[in-house]
Structure 1
Amino acid sequence: MASPVTITADECRLAPKVLLHDHLDGGLRPSTVLDLARRQGYDALPADTADDLAEWFATAADSGSLERYLETFAHTVAVMQSAGALERVARECVEDLHADGVVYAEVRFAPELHLEAGLSLDEVVVAVLRGFASGEEAAAASGRPIIVRCLVTAMRHAARSREIAELAVRFRGRGVVGFDIAGAEAGNPPSRHLDAFEYLRGECSHFTIHAGEAFGLPSIHEAVAFCGTDRLGHGVRVIDDIVLPAGAAPTDPSFGGAKLGRVADYVRDKRIPLELCPSSNVQTGAVASLADHPFNILAKLRFRVTVNTDNRLMSNTTMSREFMVLHQQFGYGWADFERFTVNAMKSAFLPFDERLRLIDEVIKPGFAVLMG
């Protein structure tokens, strides 16, 4: 598909964007990591300037392995162990998303990773929500509001998922809008955490599951069939359940002859959102390259695709950069990005009337200006 216009990076920053998959501990400013490390006496950082540290994170994360990618978080989590540090990181997260034109975001983090200095789970969440609120207030004062909500994450290799699910419900209505499980997929299937998901369903609470990033179709099948997830974190390997017409390429204009297996068919029929993260999916080895990314195939087949950053520090990315990557790779124009953004807003864990207001009053008017 050829775009009728050439989109620039500056124009991408003006587009109203919705972000559903972004990790708080994967989006710190390198300068903040350095400053917090100095204040806390953490001396294990691999670089001592912001530029060198940014380069180290991007290079270390670019391994083609999810497990090695996750190792980089040891440094960011290490400097996020006090209430003050958590509040600062959360506030700066909102500031950075706001500067990038994001109008709504759900930012996730694992409270269980931030207890080393004696904070309780509740104190960790309170600090993060305080930071989000501070950033939102500053954005509103600028005349261009942003809404940021929190997803609390349980680590899939640990045994605290029910406890974290209860934490999510306890803070529902106070800034937390859902639950997630994350971490290495291999050997840690979603079904290990059925107790948490059954509890959440009983509480009518939203949740998403990291699935189909590194482990493939079985992880997606468990997430949707056994756990009942509302969304799929990544979900990129749903492509493994799709047989394309002979000779089809990712840039083909349509895939009318594609054959969907039962899992892919179910995901599409149920409109289960895919939280796709193009740059990160390459870094972790979920796909071989951007040219091989199934985003365009899934979009053409009318899956509910959304665009996300995953970890802005590790992937050296922003939502604007992800838009540019997709524009350059697949030729998407503003009408496409409006559709992906509306997809994301429809899929948010925000009340329906608030989602509708943002679509009608912010997103569609914003893209109308860009489309002239």
Structure 2
Amino acid sequence: MARDSSPAGPVPTPDEIRRAPKVLLHDHLDGGLRPGTVVELAEAAGYGALPTTDAAELGTWFRTAADSGSLESYLETFAHTCGVMQTEQALVRVAAECAEDLADDGVVYAEVRYAPELFVERGLSLEAVVEAVQAGFAEGERRAAARGRTIRTGTLLCAMRQHARALEIAELAVRYRDGGVVGFDIAGPEDGFPPTRNLDAFEYLRTSNAHFTIHAGEAFGLASIWEAIQHCGAERLGHGVRIVDDIKNSAGGTPELGRLAAYVRDRRIPLEVCPSSNVQTGAARSIAEHPIGLLASMSFRVTVNTDNRLMSGCSMSSEFGALVEAFGFGWADLQWFTINAMKSAFIDFDQRLDIINTIIKPGYARQVN
């Protein structure tokens, strides 16, 4: 689908955006808990390290602590969410509530990622973690359907790039790919931990015909993106916003693509852009100055995502709303972002096409008309 350059038409309102069908490709399970759930799970597990047990205050604390301008400091907030997600019951609850919350926000398809290795501190096996999360998503989808909201969820298993378990997690993802796991990712600090440290995992995934994305081009620059694509074979880029470092203004003032940026655009490599999170980690100075405006205008395969809804205090609807306000995006733009995401999902082509034609396009047609 080519980007519609026609006039934006009526400005989408927050309520209209919430009702419109949305697709989410980059959302971390341990970054999207309800504050009240964190408090209750901490009490049940005897986890006493929370900065406060008042749910409203805790939600504010997470957002404030994440507003550091540093990816490393941002990641420190996850000690608390991971700390309360160490039992099967906790994982089922968190996954079920995640599906419910996304469905209530109008998300019709979501790929939610997590690192199984972070949830084995109390003796769970990696397999038990995966099975608990899948059970939770199935329950959340059922509860959403009972309220008249349809959502399909797939999961991505992450390996932490600073550890040495990528091949093990890649094998786990392949083992469960017929059970709801749709792909693989590496996450964690980029600087000092290039994706090429995990080449054996990516080779295994490629030879297994498995899907994977790589966090790249957020806290680190073009080298991270180049390695993720050219050495590792990434199908999508988690964030990828630093690709703008390879776009320069010509003498006449028009943007010119460098060879890497041109390759990313020409190959239609999806960018999993997370605007609010990018501002928090210092990848962009503000929403208004976020590279997404330039990248969209140049027809990169841009998708809009939440990253960590708890830490950023955001939803898909609020991210769309912020972009509408900052860049004047209209319904054609929001539909374009949504179809970009659905095209880039890690499920079968016919399933992607079905969601586009039977849910997304009719849903946006209703909003416009």
TM-score category (smaller protein): over 0.9
RMSD over equivalenced CA pairs, Å: 1.1
Question: Using the alignment, how far apart are the partners of 1:207 and 1:180 within structure 2?
Answer: 6
Of residues 26, 38, 61 in structure 1, which corresponds to 2:31?
A: 26
Q: TM-score, normalised by structure 2?
A: 0.97
Q: What is the match of residue 357 of structure 2?
A: 360
Q: What is the match of residue 220 of structure 2?
A: 215
Question: Using the alignment, how far apart are the partners of 1:245 and 1:142 within structure 2?
Answer: 53
1:255-294 map, 5 Å: 257-294=254-291
Superposed displacement of residue 247, structure 1: 8.5
Letter in 2 for 1:98: A
Letter in 1 for 2:354: R
1:331-346 map, 5 Å: 331-346=328-343
Count of aligned residue pairs for this structure pair: 364
Letter in 2 for 1:25: D
Q: Is the 8 A contact 2:11 2:331 kept in 1?
A: no
Q: What is the match of residue 370 of structure 1?
A: 367
Identity across matched positions, percent: 65
5+ long unaligned stretches in structure 1:
249-256
Q: What is the match of residue 8 of structure 1?
A: 13
1:191-224 CA-to-partner distances (Å, cap 9, x unmatched) read 0000000000000000000000001110000000
Say whether residues 1:198 and 2:195 are aligned partners.
Answer: no
Question: Using the alignment, how far apart are the partners of 1:58 and 1:9 within structure 2?
Answer: 21
Of residues 42, 51, 55 in structure 2, which corresponds to 1:46?
A: 51
Secondary structure at 2:268's aligned position in 1? Answer: coil
Letter in 2 for 1:29: R
Of residues 296, 300, 319 in structure 2, which corresponds to 1:299?
A: 296
1:51-200 map, 5 Å: 51-200=56-205
Question: Using the alignment, how far apart are the partners of 1:82 and 1:371 within structure 2?
Answer: 45
Runs ≥4 residues deviating over 3 A: 245-248
Question: Using the alignment, how far apart are the partners of 1:32 and 1:110 within structure 2?
Answer: 20
Superposed displacement of residue 139, structure 1: 2.0
Q: Is the 8 A contact 2:66 2:312 kept in 1?
A: yes
Flag the 1:361–1:187 CA change in 2: closer, same or farther, 3 A: same
Superposed displacement of residue 290, structure 1: 1.4
> More displaced, 168-177 or 257-266?
257-266
Letter in 2 for 1:340: F
Question: Using the alignment, how far apart are the partners of 1:302 and 1:129 within structure 2?
Answer: 35
Question: Using the alignment, how far apart are the partners of 2:197 and 2:344 within structure 1?
Answer: 25
5+ long unaligned stretches in structure 2:
none
Secondary structure at 1:210's aligned position in 2? Answer: strand
> More displaced, 180-189 or 143-152?
143-152
1:226-280 CA-to-partner distances (Å, cap 9, x unmatched) read 00000000000000000134696xxxxxxxx321111111111110000000000
